[in-house]
Amino acid sequence: MDCFSLSSHPFSPSFLTKKPPKFSSSLSLSPESDPHPPSSAKIRRPQTPTTLKTTVTKPTHITTPPPLNPPLNSKIPKNPLRNLINTSKPPTPPSNPLSNKLWLSSRISPPEEPLPSPEITVLPSPAAEPDDPRPPAPEFRQEGKIFVGNLPLWIKKNEIAEFFRQLGPVKNVVLIKGHDDMERNVGFCFVIYGGPTAASAAAKAVEFDGVEFRGRVLTVRLDDGRRLKERAEERSRWAAAADGSPEVRKEYRSKWHEEREVSRKEFRRVVESEQENWQAVVSAFQRVKKPSRGEFGLMAKYYARRGDKHNARATFESMRARGIEPNSYVYTNLVNAYAVARDMRGALACVEEMKDEDIEMSVVTYSILIKGFNNIGDAEAADKWFREAKQNLTSLNAVIYSNVIYAHCQTGNMDRAEELVREMEEEGIDAPINLYHTMMDGYTEVHNEEKCLVVFERLKECGFTPSVISYGCLINLYIKMGKVSKALEVSDAMESHGINHNSKTYSMLINGFVKQDDFTNAFAIFEDMIKEGLKPDAVLYNNIIEAFCKMGNMDRAIRIVDEMQREKHKPSSRTFTPIIRGLAKQGQTRRALEIVDMMRRTGCIPTVETFNVLISGLVGKQQMAKAVEIIDDMLLGGIAPNECTYTTIMQGYASLGDTGKAFEYFTKIKDEGLKLDAYTYEALLKACCKAGRMQSALAVTREMSAQHIPRGTYVYNILIDGWARRGDVWEAADLMEQMKRDGVSPSIHTYTSFINACCKAGDMQRATKTIEEMEAIGMKPNVKTYTTLIHGWARASLPEKALRCFEEMKLEGLRPDKAVYHCLMTSLLSRATFAEEHVYLGILSISREMVELGLTVDMGTAVHWSKCLRKIERTGGELTEALQKTFPPAWNSLDANSNKIDHNIADVNSDSYFNYENYEENHDSSEETGSASDDDDNDDGHRFWF
């Protein structure tokens, strides 16, 4: 099983045992560094005597013990503490890498209070304590940062940056403003240089001290870190008081600071606890006085979760207007807002802003971009940004890998998904259980049952316990493959392990039964769910609505929508689409439009797809006038028809053979700049072939070649059908050969159309050879193929061979449909006047089968068959008695012996009761056209039944 490499460690929860982490340190040691540093981090290296001489001010009272005074010519050792350390045994370096880093930092950092030298003892005077000239700790000092004072109060940041940019690239300007007035400066700022020349640029900037700038004499000094140290100490005091201890009293600089801190805490509490209360969150944010970057970033994050890109952008711009520069965290939240709103163009614009301002994208930013492209189904763009993240970032995490793998699984590109999983293992990143579920969903999309089960077993081997989601992935697999019985087995196994169903697994099972038109079991599952105490969600309501629509119970489906709203579930277009389609198929256009209005009232805005469903239903009923009126209603509502709308109209006119109207809407597609695809040309071809204009059809195929639109199986089927209607078996045969030369595989519909051409031409020998050719390549004839062949034998006046073909069809396990019985009985009755025994017995056999199946013919067919029977049995007999059982009930109310039958019915000719051309038209391959199933189309093709 080579789906992807998996870890062999029995206790590892990952695909592969994770590699040890690599530690990288930004500290570099010179060659003179001591290779064996002391293990104690408390021992500090003292300053040299030269440093003591220049930095320590000698106090008035100094007590120097004579024995410790070194001679003037004595050599002071480089390390005065050398004698305090046992030199016989070198110190052992710490084993912990983190402790080693701490030891290095304590060694490089200057001590806060230097230890006195053994040779010199300095006692400070208690009367006067000199100022501490030592610089602050280096952790508070920022390289390339300078202090600029005595600035005009009206100065702007861009003016300061432009003035100091002449010495080097300015990374940031921190302009200090008053805490009580956001618009007033306090007269000083900090300029931070960036790039490799930051330190030298800052040193040169000090030379600007005393330079006149905008009417003021500047004070420029290197930043000593004092302000950052004070802020750190202040934060420490505040953090110490945050535990709520009564003995610790929090200190604020003013009442304003206290109120500000309280409002900030309240804002964070509201964001965490009342996320659904939008007004409460906004009000809490507005009560914060002088929000910091953290508050602005948190507010942008809140809007991002809601997909509110407009308010997120407004918050971002408000922060900038207050002089607060965004960082990577704020930009990432802004990108997330656009991504959740599915506006990836806006998200990419935010990324360009980040790059223009030299703000590095983090792994979270890349993950959000990849997830955003997942939501719009653009796996190629998601993979592009993943490759960029891999190139720019030193390390990736499981989240970003899971997002890009999910993108490829959704598009069915499992080879790339497996490649990414192997790459993830090689990086030593542990795979979470969600990644297993993602891979199972991917294999479900491509219907790869074997590998899906492999991942499920591997999930258990790696120490994960299968959850309801794990079993739900398997149930979804079998439902999509049409194996509902297998899905029920998985359901039983899940329950045997003590895992209860949730609403999603119940929805999957109900959806599986609805697809198979097994409404009894679908509603039984629904009742089981209610007994378990689970409440239906929007998805489950949609499945129930679809079940009622397929049953034709539209009133009940509409009541389910009302119940759905009472349960506070918002209907979507998925809710109303089956209802609109069902009403349109029933010809209830007015009610379908009322559902569209109901859709608007519930807050679900109808789209062009909604109207396309309505138009498609009307076209299926050949109500073209009403379908065209729907287009006018769309235009009045401000909804522009798309190419699918016009193509559906073209298909309707094509079924009627109205070539002129089909070309008219084809021209509209061109004039409005819409995309011409294969479906549009197929509709046009169908119109030409239906009208018998085969030369126009060939012209359409030439234009398709000029537009580089390939001719698929369905295009060849349309052309073969066109030549078959004209009985031109030679042209149909040429198309079959050309189809093979082009590498297009014939389908069962292709062979059926060619057999129809042979039957129309009376070449039943070639039709029989075609059947043998199909069986040779492993393609078995279906009901339509046998029906076509039976019709051909009937046209050839060979009912005995038609009867033999009928028996072969039943031996193959195929169930004859109404058209087969109709065609076969008509053929037998046409030869019944010769009183052949096999014909006589065939009529009796077919009659009994029709009665057993409950098939009843319409009045026109009954009249035609009755006329044939009178030629055989003038006064009635066994055949008449058997066949009249298939006649409609109204037939018994007529006096068949008294010629009181309406002449309009009696004059029905032999072609009107069964239109085989309509049968061919309504039995196109549903796999190729994407149309309704055969059962739906049969009602239109056999309109003389029932």
β-sheet with 170-177: strand ranges across: 170-177, 185-193, 145-149, 219-222
Query: Is residue 376 within 8 Å of 347, Cβ to Cβ?
Result: no
* Per-residue pLDDT tens over the stretch 315-334: 999 998 888 889 999 999 99
Distance CA 762, CA 775 (A): 22
- Is the confidence at residue 127, as pLDDT, over 90? no
Residue 386, Cβ density class (10 Å: 0-12 exposed, 13-18 middle, ≥19 buried): buried
Task: State whether residue 198 is helix, strand or coil.
Answer: helix
For residues 419 and 3, give the distance between their C-alpha atoms in angstroms, rounded to a whole number.
9
What tokens appear for 122 in the block? 């300095």
Residue-wise pLDDT tens digits, 783-828:
888 888 888 887 777 777 888 888 888 888 888 877 788 777 877 7
Cα-Cα-Cα-Cα torsion 679, 681, 685, 686, nearest 10 degrees, comes to 30
Per-residue pLDDT at 817:
78
Of 667, 673, 666, whose CA–CA distance to 648 is shortest?
666
Neighbours of 481 (CB within 10 A): 15
Q: Is 725 helix (H, G, I), strand (E, B) or coil?
A: helix
Distance CA 297, CA 326 (A): 8
712-757: per-residue pLDDT in tens? 888 888 888 888 888 788 888 888 888 888 888 888 888 888 888 8
The average pLDDT across 240-257 equals: 58
Q: What's the mean per-residue pLDDT of the chain? A: 77
What predicted TM-score, i.e. pTM, was given to this entire model? 0.57
Q: Which 3 state secondary structure label does DSSP give 492?
A: helix
Q: Which tokens belong to 748?
A: 């069962």
Residue with tokens 């709103």: 341
**b/e sequence 341-352, b meaning 16+ C-beta within 10 Å:** bebbebbbebbe
Burial environment of residue 667 by CB neighbours within 10 A (0 to 12, 13 to 18, 19 or more) = exposed
Task: Give the CB-side neighbour count of residue 438, counting CA atoms within 13 A.
Answer: 25
| Residue 901 confidence (pLDDT) | 45
Per-position DSSP letters for 149-190, written without gaps between them: ES--TT--HHHHHHHHGGGS-EEEEEEEE-SS-TT-EEEEEE
Query: What is the phi/psi pair of residue 367, to 5°?
Result: -65, -40
The rounded distance, in Å, linking the Cα atoms of 341 and 619 is 35
Residues facing residue 147 across a β-bridge: 190, 221
Quick one: which H or E segment has residue 262? helix 255-273
520 in Cβ contact with 551 (< 8 Å): no
DSSP assignments along 44-92, one per residue: -PPPPHHHHHHHPPPPS-----GGGPPPTTPPPPS-TTGGGS-TTSPPP
Residue 873 CA to residue 833 CA, distance in Å, equals: 9
pLDDT higher for 268 or 29? 268
Of 196-210, 299-313, 755-769, the least confident: 755-769
In this prediction, residue 135 carries a pLDDT of: 52
Query: What pLDDT was estimated at residue 302?
Result: 93
| Pairing state between β 219-222 and 170-177 | unpaired
What does the alpha-carbon distance between residue 851 and residue 858 come to, in Å, rounded to a whole number?
14
**3-class SS at 14?**
coil
Q: Are 471 and 23 in contact (CB under 8 A)?
A: no
Specify the pLDDT at position 407: 92
| Residue 372 predicted with pLDDT over 90 | yes
Check if the beta carbon of residue 361 is closer than 8 Å to that of residue 354: yes
Of residues 7 and 433, the one with the higher pLDDT is 433
d(CA 693, CA 719): 11
Alpha-carbon gap, residue 227 to 245, rounded angstroms:
28
Binned at pLDDT 50, 70 and 90, residue 336 comes out as very high
Q: 750 and 739 in contact (C-beta within 8 Å)?
A: yes
Q: Taking Cα atoms as reference points, which of 918, 913, 916 lies closest to residue 886? A: 913
pLDDT at residue 332, as a whole number:
94
Q: Decide: helix, strand or coil at residue 145.
A: strand
- Compute the distance between CA of residue 770 and CA of residue 759 in angstroms, rounded to an integer: 11
> How large is the average pLDDT for residues 444-467?
90
Residue 279 has pLDDT above 50, yes or no: yes
Chain centroid, CA 153 distance in Å: 52
Q: What is the pLDDT of residue 470?
A: 92
pLDDT digit string (tens) for 633-664?
A: 888 878 888 889 988 998 888 888 888 888 88
pLDDT digits (tens, 9 = 90+) for 518-554: 888 888 988 888 888 888 888 889 989 999 998 888 9
| Digit-coded pLDDT (tens) for 140-189 | 778 899 999 999 888 888 899 999 998 899 988 988 887 666 667 888 99
